[in-house]
Structure 1
C-alpha cells in the first residue's frame, strides 16, 4: 500500500462518513426513521423497497452506511500495510471501525425495537466520533505522504513547530472537546424530541432572557445556553493558545474553531427563522449539522497536535 493510495482511501472513508452523518440528519428532519418499518437490513421486507419518500430516504441512509462500512474496513486493513507501520494510523483506523460498528448497531436497534430519544441522540454523537477518527486518519495520511516525499523538510518543520508548546494546552483542548460533545448531544436531543420550537425568537427565548423552563422550552434553552458558553470557551481557548504556545499551527486551528462556532451560532439562528418552513428547514438543519461536525474535527486535530508537539519539546 503506497502512501498516496492510503491517503486516497482514507479521504474516501472520511467523505463517506460525512455523507452518513448528513443522511442521518435528513432521516431525522424529514421524519423518515420508520420508512422501512421494523425490518432490518431489508426495507419493508424487500431488498429494493417500493417507492415512498420516507422509505427511499431511510433506505438511502442504510445504503450509504453500508458502503461506508466497507470503506472503513478497507482503511483499517490497509493501515497495517503502510510502510513504515504506524501505531497512530492503526489507532485511528481501529477507532473508526469500532465506532462505525457501534453506530450501525444502534441504528439497527432503533429500527427493530422502540428506542428512547435520549439513546437516539447518542447515535449521532457516536457517528460524529467515527467521522472525526476518519478525518484524523486522513490528516495523518496526508502528513505521512509529505514526510516521505521530503523527509528533511518535514523534520525541520516539526522541530521548529515544537517550540514553546505547554503540555497543559492538550488538557485544556481535551476539556473543551468534552464540553463541545455535551452541547452536540443537547442539540441532537432537541432534534430527536422535536423541541426546537420550545424557544421562539433569537437571541431571546420566547421574548425572555431566561424563560420559564417547562415543557419543550427547557431542552431548547439548555442547548442555546450551552452553545453560547461554548462560544465563550473557544474565545478563551484561542487567547490561551496564542499567548501560551506561540505556535502558528495551533493558533490557526484555535482561530478556525472560534470562527466555526460563530458560524454554528448563526446557523442556529437560521434554524429558528426557518422552523415553520419545512422545505427550507431541512437544508438549514444540514448546514447546522455540517458546521458542528467540522468544528469537532478541528478540536480533535488541535488536541492531537498539541499533544504531539508538547511531547517533542
Structure 2
C-alpha cells in the first residue's frame, strides 16, 4: 500500500470513530439505549429491526461501530504489513483496535445486563481514547507521506519533522498532566449526561444564580463539572504560555494555540447547552457540538504530548 492510500485509510478510520462517538451520544441523549431490547447483536431478534425511532437510532449506532471495527482492523493489518515497519504506526493502529474491541464489549454488556451510569460514562471515555489513537495515526501517516515524498531512506522511522527543534522534557510532563486532567473532566461530563443531571445548574456562568449553589441532588455533579471545566481552561492557558516560552517549535506552538481556542469554544458550547436544555429538538444538536469540541480538544492534547515527548528526545 502506498503512503497516500495508507493516509486515506487512516483518515477514514478516524472519521468513522468520530461517527461512532456521535452515534453513541445520540443514543444517550434520545434515550434510545433500550431501542433493541436486550438482544445483541440482533435487534429484537431480527437482523433488520422493525422501524421505531429508538430501535433505528440504537441499531444505527451498532452498524456504524461494526463498519468502523472493520476499518480499524484493516488499518492495523496494513500497518503490520508495511515495509519498513513502523513501531509508532503499529502502536497507534493497535491501540485503536484494542480500545474499539473494549468499547464494543462494554456496549454489548450495557445492552444485555443492567449497567450503572458510572460504567456507561467509562464507555464513552474508552471510545474517545480509540478516537485519539486513530487521530494520532492519521497525523503520523501525513508525516510518513511527506517524508516518503522527500526521498527519506527510511520514512517510517521519521517522526521529528524537518527543522524540528529540541524541547525540554518538563514540557512533555506538563502537557501529559493537562491531558490526563482533561480526561477526568470528560468523564465527569459523560457522567452528568448519563445521569441526566445537567439541569442541576440553571443559568450561565452562575449555577442557579449563585457562585456556589446549594449542593444537593442533581446540582452536585453538574456544579462539579462546571468547576472542573473552569480549572481546565486555566490549565490550558498556563500550558499555552509555557509552550510558547519553552519551545522553539512552530508545530508545538500551533497545537497549543489550537487547544486554547478549542477550550474557549468548549466553554461557549457549554453555555449553549444550558440555553437549549429545555428544548429537546435543539439540545440533541448542541450536545453533539459539545461532544465534538471536547473530543478534538483531547486529541489535540494527545498529539501535543506525543510530539513534545518525541522532540524532547531528539
TM-score normalised according to structure 2 size: 0.97
Aligned counterpart, 1:204: 206
Map 1:144-163 → 2, pairs under 5 A = 144-151=144-151, 158=161, 160-163=163-166
- Mapped partners of 1:50, 1:94: distance in 2: 36
Aligned counterpart, 1:214: 216
User: Does the CA-based 8 Å contact 1:162-1:309 persist in structure 2?
Assistant: yes
User: Does the CA-based 8 Å contact 1:2-1:82 persist in structure 2?
Assistant: no
- Mapped partners of 1:160, 1:279: distance in 2: 50
Aligned counterpart, 2:77: 77
**Structure 2 portions without partners, runs of 5+:** none
Which of residues 307, 310, 313 in structure 2 aligns to 1:308? Answer: 310
- Mapped partners of 1:64, 1:88: distance in 2: 27
Which of residues 171, 174, 186 in structure 2 aligns to 1:172? Answer: 174
Map 1:1-313 → 2, pairs under 5 A = 1-151=1-151, 158=161, 160-163=163-166, 165-312=167-314
For residues 12-52 of structure 1, the C-alpha deviation after alignment (integer angstroms, 9 at most, x for no partner) is 11000000000001000000000000000000111101000
Q: Measure how far apart 1:159 and its partner are.
A: 5.5
For residues 75-107 of structure 1, the C-alpha deviation after alignment (integer angstroms, 9 at most, x for no partner) is 011101222210000000110000000000000
May I ask how many residue pairs the two structures share in their alignment?
A: 311
Alignment RMSD: 1.5
SS where residue 161 of structure 2 aligns? helix
- Mapped partners of 2:252, 2:220: distance in 1: 36
User: Does the CA-based 8 Å contact 1:3-1:144 persist in structure 2?
Assistant: yes
User: Does the CA-based 8 Å contact 2:277-2:283 persist in structure 1?
Assistant: yes
SS where residue 81 of structure 2 aligns? coil
**Structure 1 portions without partners, runs of 5+:** none
For residues 105-132 of structure 1, the C-alpha deviation after alignment (integer angstroms, 9 at most, x for no partner) is 0000000000000000000000000000
Q: Measure how far apart 1:160 and its partner are.
A: 2.4
Q: Measure how far apart 1:2 and its partner are.
A: 1.4
Q: Measure how far apart 1:162 and its partner are.
A: 2.0
For residues 157-192 of structure 1, the C-alpha deviation after alignment (integer angstroms, 9 at most, x for no partner) is 8362223x1111111111001000000000000000
- Mapped partners of 1:145, 1:64: distance in 2: 28
- Mapped partners of 2:248, 2:5: distance in 1: 35
- Mapped partners of 2:151, 2:180: distance in 1: 35
SS where residue 19 of structure 2 aligns? helix
- Mapped partners of 1:196, 1:62: distance in 2: 26
Q: Measure how far apart 1:151 and its partner are.
A: 3.8
TM-score normalised according to structure 1 size: 0.97
| Aligned CA distance change for structure 1 residues 151 and 307 (closer, same or farther; 3 Å) | farther
User: Does the CA-based 8 Å contact 1:256-1:298 persist in structure 2?
Assistant: yes
